[in-house]
C-alpha cells in the first residue's frame, strides 16, 4: 500500500468509508522531470562530432549545443560492468559484474548476479511514481538465467522496469537480432529485405512506450534507458549511411589522430599542450599480441582499402543510430516534453580493439578461439556492413578513436575508460553549449538522476540493508559551480587483470594488459600520471613520486577488498589453448544429466547456447524421432547462424547435416536420400579423433537413418562458441540468421512431418568438470 489505510470499516458497508489512496501507487512530485539515458557501446571520445571527431552525430550535436559536454567522464572498461553501475549506482565488482555476463565465474565479484543489497534505480524510481522502460541491449542478465524456463528475477521487469524490449547478451546481429520482450523471447517483426534494422526497431518500440504513458497518464514522468546495439560489433548499417563516409578515412588511423587532437583541444575537451601517446604504448610481453596496431605505412593498398571501409561502416552505423535517437528527441519536442526531460547521451567504454590488428568479417571467430583469415576478409570488402558479414574494424581505428589516450576498451588507461557524455535539460540547466571538466565516473549517474528527481536511495529495500552508492551527484556542475573542483575523490579500476586507481588528480596503472596471461600480479610494474595536467597519461612520474605511488597501490588494495575485486583473472583466451580451456571450464555450464543426454521438443523457444548441450570440441550424437511424409521439408534442428553453426534439415528429397565452421567456406554438407513416409530415427554421430592447430576437433561425421549409416565425411568442429550470445538451439525451425545457405532467408519450419523429440548425447566426451563427468559416467544406463 502507498500508505496506511485511513478509512472506516463497520459491519455494514453503508456505514463504512473507503480509502482508495491507501492502495494506489505513490505519485511523483508535480513537475518531476522525465529521464532519457542513451547509452551507446564501444565509442572513444575522439570518434564523435561533439568532441571534434569525424563521425557526424546531428542529434548529439543538438543536445550538446543546448546542454553540457563532459570532458572527464569515465566508465569501466567493458559493457556489462558499466551497465551494472547504471543499474545500481555501485561499483561493478560490488554488483557481481567484474566482466561481461558471458564470462562470469563463481566468485562474488564475478558472478553477474546483482545482490539484493544493491537495489536498482529503476525499482526506486518506479516506487516513487515514475514509469520505467528499458529498450535495447541488456547485458546484465546472468548467464544461468538466459533460458525460457529459468528464473526471471534478474530480468528487467524484476529489476524495476515496467517494460522491456531488446536483446539479452553482449551483442546481436542488427539485421537478424535475437529479441526478447518483457520476460520472453520473440521473433523480429519483419526482415531486412523489408527495411528492418535493429536501431530503427528499438526507436519504434521506445516511442510506443512513451506515447502509451502520455495518452493514459499524461502527468506521470517516465525513465527510459535506451541502449542501441551500436557501436558494438557487428557493425551493420544501411548502405546510404555507409556511403556518406566514402573516402572520409582514407588518410588512415595515424593521420586521424594528428587531425583530431587539435580539434579536441579547440573545443575545450583537452587542455592546451596535451600530447598524444604512442600508437603501441605497451612493452612487449605485457599484453596480448592481438591488441597490436599495424603501422599504416606498412599496409598494402588492398589492406588500406579494407580498413578504410571498415571505418566507414562504423561511422555510418553510429550516425544512423543517432538519427533514430533523433526521432525520439523530435517527438519529445513535438509533444512538449523536451523542456523537462533530462537527457544523458553517452557511451559505455572506449573504442573496441577486439577486431585484432587486421579487422574481421566475422567477429564470432574470436569466441570460437580461431584466428581470422585476412585473405578471406579481403574478398568481402564490398559486403562489409551487410547481412553477409559480422564485421569489426582493426585495432588501429580503436587507437584513433581513443585519441590521445593509451590503448582502448578492456584497458584501465584512459583509452578504455574516458568516454563521451552530454547532458541536456532545458528546464534545469541554464548553461548552453559549455564544457565541464570535473572528473566523474559512471557510478555517478544514478546519484545524479536521483538527486535531480528528488528521490533518495533507501537505506533498506525489501527488508535488505543497502550498500551505499559508490558515486556522487554531478548536479553541482550544472550552473552554480561550473568550474568547481570535482567532488569525487577516488575511483578504482580493474578489468581482466588490468588495474588502476585515480585519487585526487593522480592515477596509478599497472603495465599489465587484460587477458595477457602474465599472472604474477604481485610483481606488476605500476605507472603514475598526474591527470590534472596530463589527461592523456603521456608522462609516467613513478620514479619522481615513489611515495605517492606506494600510497595509491595501497589504496587500490583497500578498494579491492571493499568491492569484491579479488581474485584477479587475466587468462589469455586468444593464443593460449591452455588458458582458453581453463577459461571455458570456469564459465557457467548447465548441469549435465546423469545420462549425458539432453532432450528437446518442437514448439519451443530457442535455447541459448550457454545452456544448450555443449557440442563444441567434443564427440556427440544427435538423434531425431520423426513421422514423415514423402514431401517433408524443413529444419529438424538448427543452432547458430551463417557465421558459425550446425543444422539437420530436409530439402529437395534429401536429409542433410550442415556444419558451418565459423562462416569459413565451404559449408560441410553430409547428405542422403530422404526415407519413405512413416516413423524414422534420423541422426548424426561425430567422433573426435584428433585436434587441429587451434584445438578444433576433427573426425568422422556419420549420418544415420534408422539403424543404417547412409553417409560419412570428415569434419572439423568449433572449440569455443558459435556466437557470443543469441542464435540458440532451435527445434523444427531456424530463428534469426540461417545456419546454412541451402535455406537462407527463412525460418524454414518443418512441414510434411512431425518431430517427436531430438536427443543430444555428449556422454562419451562431455567437456564438464571432473566431478560432474564422474557422476555422469557412474550413473549411465
Please spell the DSSP secondary structure of 266-296, one letter per residue. Answer: HTTSS-TT--PPPSS-SPTTSS-GGG----G
Return the CA Rg of the chain.
27
**Which contiguous run of DSSP H or E holds residue 506?**
strand 506-510
pLDDT digits (tens, 9 = 90+) for 88-147: 999 999 999 999 988 888 899 999 999 999 999 999 999 999 999 999 999 999 988 988
> What would the 3-class secondary structure string for 96-143 be?
CCCCCHHHCCCCHHHCCCCCCCCCCHHHHHHHCCCEEEEEEEECCCCH
Measured distance CA(37)–CA(655) in Å, rounded: 50
pLDDT at 766: 39
Given the DSSP bridges, would you call strands 34-40 and 341-347 parallel, antiparallel or unpaired?
parallel
Question: Among candidates 97, 99, 74, which has minimal Cα distance to 84?
Answer: 97
* Residue 151 exposure: Cα atoms within 13 Å on the Cβ side: 8
Measured distance CA(394)–CA(292) in Å, rounded: 9
pLDDT at 590: 62
Measured distance CA(593)–CA(615) in Å, rounded: 14
Is residue 524 left, alpha or beta, with left meaning phi > 0 and alpha meaning psi from -120 to 50? beta
Cα–Cα distances (Å) from 469 to 85, 220, 255, 653, 781, in that order, read 10, 26, 42, 63, 53
Q: What are phi and psi of 421, to 5 degrees?
A: -150, 125
Measured distance CA(781)–CA(765) in Å, rounded: 16
Measured distance CA(511)–CA(448) in Å, rounded: 33
pLDDT at 581: 74
pLDDT at 776: 34
Instruction: Spell out where 560-687 has E strands.
Output: 597-600, 620-641, 644-651, 654-660, 668-673, 678-686
pLDDT at 773: 34
pLDDT at 595: 76
Extract long-range pairs of 294-299: CB within 8 Å, 24+ residues apart. Answer: 294/357, 294/358, 294/394, 294/395, 294/396, 295/254, 296/252, 296/253, 296/254, 296/255, 296/396
Question: Among candidates 320, 351, 347, which has minimal Cα distance to 257?
Answer: 351
Measured distance CA(644)–CA(119) in Å, rounded: 38
Q: How far is CA 199 from the centre of its chain?
A: 15
Tell me if 643 sits within 8 A of 720, measured CB to CB: no
pLDDT at 116: 97
Extract long-range pairs of 691-697: CB within 8 Å, 24+ residues apart. Answer: 691/617, 692/716, 694/369, 694/370, 694/371, 694/577, 694/719, 695/369, 695/577, 695/580, 695/581, 695/617, 695/719, 696/370, 696/617, 696/661, 697/617, 697/618, 697/619
Torsion angle in degrees (nearest 10) through CA of 521, 525, 529, 535: -70
Measured distance CA(36)–CA(780) in Å, rounded: 55
pLDDT at 768: 36
Tell me if 370 sits within 8 A of 662, measured CB to CB: yes
Q: How far is CA 157 from the centre of its chain?
A: 19
For the chain, which residues score pLDDT lower than 70? 1-2, 367-369, 574-575, 577, 589-592, 763-781
Measured distance CA(350)–CA(406) in Å, rounded: 11
pLDDT at 364: 80
pLDDT at 771: 34
Distance in angstroms between the alpha carbons of the first and the last residue of the chain: 55
* Residue 250 exposure: Cα atoms within 13 Å on the Cβ side: 5
Amino acid at each position: 500500500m502507498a500508505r496506511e489505510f485511513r478509512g472506516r470499516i463497520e459491519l455494514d458497508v453503508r456505514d463504512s468509508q473507503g480509502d482508495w489512496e491507501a492502495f494506489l501507487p505513490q505519485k511523483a512530485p508535480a513537475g518531476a522531470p522525465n529521464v532519457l539515458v542513451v547509452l551507446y557501446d564501444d565509442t572513444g571520445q575522439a570518434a564523435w562530432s561533439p568532441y571534434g571527431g569525424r563521425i557526424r552525430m546531428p542529434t548529439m550535436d543538438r543536445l550538446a549545443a543546448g546542454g553540457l559536454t563532459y570532458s572527464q567522464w569515465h566508465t569501466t572498461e567493458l559493457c556489462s560492468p558499466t551497465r551494472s553501475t547504471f543499474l545500481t549506482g555501485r561499483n561493478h565488482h560490488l554488483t557481481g559484474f567484474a566482466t561481461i555476463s558471458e564470462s562470469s565465474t563463481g566468485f562474488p565479484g564475478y558472478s553477474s548476479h546483482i545482490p539484493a543489497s544493491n537495489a536498482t534505480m529503476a525499482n526506486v524510481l518506479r516506487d516513487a511514481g515514475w514509469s520505467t522502460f528499458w529498450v535495447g541491449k541488456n547485458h546484465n542478465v546472468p548467464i544461468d538465467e538466459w533460458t525460457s524456463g529459468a528464473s526471471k528475477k534478474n530480468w528487467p521487469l524484476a529489476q524495476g522496469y515496467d517494460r522491456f524490449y531488446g536483446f539479452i547478451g553482449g551483442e546481436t546481429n542488427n539485421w537478424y537480432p535475437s529479441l526478447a520482450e518483457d520476460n520472453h523471447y520473440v521473433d523480429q517483426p519483419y526482415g531486412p529485405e523489408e527495411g528492418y534494422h535493429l536501431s530503427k526497431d528499438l526507436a519504434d518500440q521506445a516511442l510506443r512506450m512513451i506515447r502509451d504513458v502520455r495518452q493514459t497518464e499524461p502527468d506521470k514522468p517516465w525513465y527510459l534507458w535506451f541502449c542501441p546495439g551500436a557501436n558494438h560489433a557487428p557493425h551493420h548499417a544501411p548502405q546510404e549511411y555507409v556511403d556518406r563516409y566514402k573516402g572520409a578515412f582514407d588518410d588512415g588511423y595515424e593521420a586521424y589522430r594528428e587531425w583530431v587532437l587539435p580539434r579536441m583541444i579547440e573545443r575545450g575537451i583537452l587542455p592546451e599542450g596535451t600530447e598524444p601517446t604512442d600508437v603501441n604504448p605497451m612493452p612487449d610481453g605485457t599484453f596480448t599480441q592481438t591488441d597490436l596496431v599495424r603501422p599504416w605505412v606498412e599496409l598494402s593498398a588492398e589492406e588500406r582499402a579494407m580498413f578504410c571501409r571498415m571505418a566507414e561502416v562504423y561511422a555510418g552505423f553510429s550516425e544512423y543510430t543517432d538519427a533514430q535517437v533523433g526521432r525520439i528527441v523530435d517527438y519529445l519536442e513535438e509533444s512538449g516534453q523536451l523542456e523537462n526531460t533530462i537527457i544523458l547521451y553517452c557511451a559505455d567504454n572506449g573504442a573496441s580493439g577486439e577486431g585484432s590488428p587486421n579487422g574481421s568479417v566475422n567477429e564470432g571467430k574470436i569466441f570460437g578461439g580461431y584466428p581470422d583469415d585476412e585473405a578471406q576478409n579481403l574478398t568481402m570488402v564490398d559486403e562489409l556492413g551487410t547481412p553477409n558479414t559480422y564485421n569489426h574494424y582493426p585495432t588501429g581505428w580503436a587507437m584513433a578513436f581513443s585519441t590521445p589516450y593509451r590503448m582502448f576498451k578492456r584497458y584501465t588507461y584512459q583509452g578504455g575508460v574516458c568516454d563521451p557524455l552530454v547532458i541536456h535539460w532545458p528546464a534545469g540547466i541554464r548553461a548552453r553549449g559549455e564544457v565541464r571538466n570535473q572528473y566523474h565516473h559512471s557510478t555517478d549517474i544514478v546519484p545524479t538522476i536521483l538527486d535531480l528527481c528528488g528521490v533518495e536511495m533507501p537505506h533498506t529495500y525489501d527488508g535488505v540493508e543497502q550498500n551505499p552508492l559508490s558515486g556522487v551527484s554531478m548536479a553541482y556542475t550544472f550552473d552554480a559551480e561550473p568550474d568547481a573542483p570535482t567532488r569525487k575523490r577516488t575511483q578504482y579500476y580493474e578489468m581482466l587483470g588490468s588495474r588502476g586507481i585515480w585519487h585526487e588528480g593522480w592515477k596509478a596503472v599497472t603495465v599489465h594488459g587484460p587477458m595477457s596471461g602474465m599472472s604474477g600480479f604481485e610483481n606488476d610494474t605500476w605507472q603514475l600520471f598526474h591527470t590534472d595536467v596530463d589527461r592523456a597519461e603521456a608522462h609516467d612520474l613513478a620514479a619522481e613520486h615513489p611515495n605517492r605511488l606506494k600510497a595509491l597501490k595501497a589504496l587500490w588494495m583497500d578498494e579491492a577488498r571493499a568491492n569484491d575485486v579479488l581474485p584477479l583473472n587475466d587468462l589469455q583466451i586468444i593464443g593460449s589453448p591452455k588458458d582458453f580451456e581453463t577459461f571455458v571450464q570456469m564459465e557457467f555450464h548447465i548441469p549435465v544429466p546423469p545420462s549425458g543426454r539432453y532432450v528437446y521438443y518442437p514448439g519451443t523457444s530457442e535455447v541459448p547456447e550457454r545452456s544448450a548441450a555443449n557440442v563444441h570440441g567434443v564427440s556427440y550424437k544427435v538423434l531425431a524421432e520423426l513421422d514423415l511424409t514423402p514431401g517433408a521439408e524443413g529444419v529438424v534442428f538448427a543452432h547458430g547462424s551463417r557465421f558459425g553453426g550446425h543444422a539437420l534439415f530436409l530439402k529437395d528429397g534429401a536429409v542433410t547435416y550442415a556444419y558451418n565452421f565459423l562462416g569459413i567456406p565451404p559449408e560441410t554438407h553430409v547428405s542422403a536420400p530422404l526415407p519413405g513416409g512413416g516413423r524414422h530415427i534420423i541422426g548424426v554421430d561425430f567422433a573426435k579423433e584428433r585436434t587441429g592447430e587451434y584445438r578444433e576437433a576433427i573426425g568422422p561425421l556419420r549420418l544415420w537413418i534408422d539403424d543404417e549409416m547412409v553417409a560419412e565425411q570428415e569434419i572439423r568442429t568449433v572449440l569455443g562458441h558459435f556466437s557470443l550470445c543469441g542464435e540458440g538451439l532451435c527445434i523444427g525451425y531456424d530463428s534469426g540468421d540461417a545456419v546454412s545457405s541451402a535455406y537462407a532467408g527463412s525460418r524454414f519450419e518443418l512441414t510434411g512431418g512431425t518431430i517427436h523429440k531430438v536427443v543430444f548425447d555428449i556422454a562419451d566426451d562431455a567437456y564438464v568438470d571432473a566431478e560432474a563427468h564422474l557422476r555422469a559416467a557412474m550413473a549411465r544406463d
